Amino acid sequence: MLLALTLAVLGGRLLLAGMASYQAESFIKDWNRSATTPAPRAWAVAQAAAQRAVTFYPGTDGDHYDRLGRIYEWQHAFAPFGDAAAEPSRQAARDAYRIAVTARPDWPYSWVQLAYVKLRLQEFDSEFDRAFAQGFELGPWRIDANRWLAEIGLLAWPQLSMAQRDQTLESIRRTVAYSNAEARRLLTLVESTGQQQLLCDALPFPLKTRRKICL
């Protein structure tokens, strides 16, 4: 009976955690589609759902903490880097990603997310260096990881080491090689930051020709 009761409690907690994570993920998908700052009420509901998933899950689940981090980032997703008002939520996101990469160290996306929030916080330190390196090493052919690493590298270019710049350039090549849509997305970013020449110099001529850019 004790075993049955224990299994029932664990099963109930897993069910509650799964329902909460599904609700939280639905909000994230909607925000990704709309690309707008969440309404305060919607963000609060999503954050509470993500926190419930973390609380009810019997153990430390990297996926739940990664989702919690992403929701914290969305609260001030479009605020400038280093913005004081956005700092508390970005610090909370950073802390959630730290737990996520500890629980799931081979998952590249959480490392990349950690590097990105460190960029938003303007924290260029050994933790940023490790997160950037792990994201690059663990996700060589994952387009989302390469796209984000290319963005991070371009936006943080003056703060990067030579090795990180080389990794950024490789992520740029991988992203542009993936599709025309990814190439256009990256071209829009460099046009807004004045780094067109950096992008064009990173690409071999056959790839420029295939994507019809930098010609």
- pLDDT exceeds cutoff 70 at 208: yes
Q: Can you give the residue ranges of every domain in the chain? A: 14-139, 140-215
Q: How confident is the model at residue 17 (pLDDT cuts 50, 70, 90)?
A: confident
Calculate mean pLDDT across residues 35-50. 95
C-alpha triplet 41, 93, 143: angle, nearest 5°: 105
Cα of first residue to Cα of last residue in the chain, in angstroms, is 73
Run of H or E including 65 = helix 62-75
Predicted structure pTM score: 0.91
Matching residue, tokens 């998952």: 107
Enter the tokens of residue 105: 């160290």
Fold designation for 14-139 = 1.25.40
Calculate mean pLDDT across residues 123-144. 96
pLDDT at 189: 92
Largest alpha-carbon pair distance within the chain? 73
Distance of CA 42 to the CA centre of its chain: 20
Q: How confident is the model at residue 58 (pLDDT cuts 50, 70, 90)?
A: confident
- Number of helices (H), then strands (E), belonging to the chain: the values are 11, 0
**Residue pLDDT, tens place only, 72-96:** 999 999 999 999 999 999 999 999 9
Q: How confident is the model at residue 1 (pLDDT cuts 50, 70, 90)?
A: low
pLDDT at 59: 84
**Residue pLDDT, tens place only, 153-174:** 999 999 999 999 999 999 999 9
Phi, then psi, of 104 in degrees rounded to 5:
-140, 70
* Other beta carbons less than 10 A from residue 212's beta carbon: 10
Calculate mean pLDDT across residues 103-131. 97
Q: Is 109 exposed, middle or buried (0-12, 13-18, 19+ CB in 10 A)?
A: buried
pLDDT at 24: 95
pLDDT at 115: 98
- pLDDT exceeds cutoff 70 at 3: no
Which has more pLDDT, 8 or 87?
A: 87
Single-letter amino acid, residue 198: L
pLDDT at 18: 82
Length of the chain measured in residues: 215
Classify residue 36 as left (phi > 0), alpha (psi -120 to 50) or beta: beta
- pLDDT exceeds cutoff 80 at 9: no
pLDDT at 10: 59
From start to end of 36-164, where are the E strands? none
Matching residue, tokens 């099963």: 11
